[in-house]
Structure 1
Amino acid sequence: MPGQQHEVTFRFLAQPTDVNFGGKVHGGMAMKWIDQAGYACAVGWSGAYCVTASVSGIQFVAPILIGDLVSVHARLIHTGTSSMHLAVDVMACDLREGGQRLATRCVMVFVALDAADGKPTPVPAWQPHDEEDRRLQALARRLTDLSKAVENEVFTSATPGG
């Protein structure tokens, strides 16, 4: 039922096929996991097919190693008419030593699309429940403003072929 599921956590082990030549999970794999968890959270909230509109402020804080238990947590932090802003944290844990560490963090925006015509479709409104929710919602709004400013700058100052 739309408007029920506002957070999702994926858990799995980092595998040898996930790593780069340096033996650490490569950024593209982490971004794939982020997109998958974000998609599951957005669809769970909206009840509609969703597409990624943007990823903001992605930070690779610590490496993820083969055999680490990886947790990808996506959490709804703001809704627009058809958009959903999600905070996503990727945590890694060496199972032998214990203790989780933040590996990657970002904010993403998904847009819900109507199944019939593929146009943006309304999503249930989300309201913050506590101070942390309000802080994250304010972050989502600031990132939206910054993103619009950057987009405007890029499109007004860019010259073709230049």
Structure 2
Amino acid sequence: MKDSIAQVLGGEAEVRSSSQESKVEIRDLDALTKKSDIAAALAKQYDFDEGKVKVRSIRPGYSESQIAVISLRLTIGKVVTKGGVVRIGWTICKIKERGGLPRCYRCLENGHIASKCLSRIDRSGCCFKCWDQGHKAAQCSNKSACFVCAAARRKDMI
């Protein structure tokens, strides 16, 4: 389908296919939980092969807990998120689908990450709130602005 659409559009636009993976977030993990523990627990509880779980990251959460982001095939991801919980060791952890597209921190556009960015423009110094250079959103006291409107106002963002 991607090739057919690309052929019809010609060089007018870039055509990309969406991933057939579901990103899932697991919260309330024990501080000692490892990637292998997560894969084993999910595979056992939802009856699939451990190799189908890709643990992308584990980061600290609140109160000495951890949060993991995993990738699963779309069909398995729907089953897992519908279940809502997984028992990992002695802990019952909450599962939810991770929404939204990834955002590139280089060009600030959605749909890809900085390591795969093909844009010639580097907007990494821009504020996410007002889109001005030289400060970050945490320190911004300016009024919120739309990225498209700010880009039209400033030619260096295009």
TM-score normalised by structure 2 residue count: 0.31
Larger radius of gyration: 2
TM-score normalised by structure 1 residue count: 0.30
Q: Which has the higher strand share?
A: 1
